[in-house]
Amino acid sequence: MKSFGEVFKQIRVSHQLSLTQAAGDICSKSMLSRFESGNHDIGAQKLVALLENIHTDIEEFVFLCRSYQVQPNKAIFKQLEQALDVTDTSKLHRLYQ
């Protein structure tokens, strides 16, 4: 799993936002820089606010932190949903086992 700071920087840079823009009034740009480089941790409330500043929701952020891996339970629910949509009882039975 990638570090939160590393992923945050990746998103910020891809959106072409400066440290100042991303930090807004949430934290200082030096604190954000230290977070991105792995030298400082920030609390959940600040992280959520910073993600809002870079137009990213928490689910997308976690997905990127997990190196584009869907959580196993979400993958199963997606398969169940697809099987239910087309009434594929054999697939539902396989997923149940």
The answer to whether residues 57 and 35 belong to one domain is: yes
pLDDT at position 26: 97
pLDDT at position 51: 97
pLDDT at position 72: 59
pLDDT at position 48: 95
Q: Give DSSP secondary structure letters for 32-82.
A: HHHHHTTS----HHHHHHHHHHTT--HHHHHHHHTTTPPPHHHHHHHHHHH
The answer to whether residues 8 and 32 belong to one domain is: yes
**pLDDT tens string for the chain (97 positions)?**
789 999 999 999 999 999 999 999 999 999 999 999 999 999 999 999 999 999 999 989 988 998 765 555 666 667 777 777 777 777 767 766 6
The answer to whether residues 55 and 19 belong to one domain is: yes
Domain span at residue 31? 4-65
What's the total number of domains in the chain? 2
CATH number at residue 17: 1.10.260.40
Residue 80 to residue 44: CA distance in whole angstroms? 32
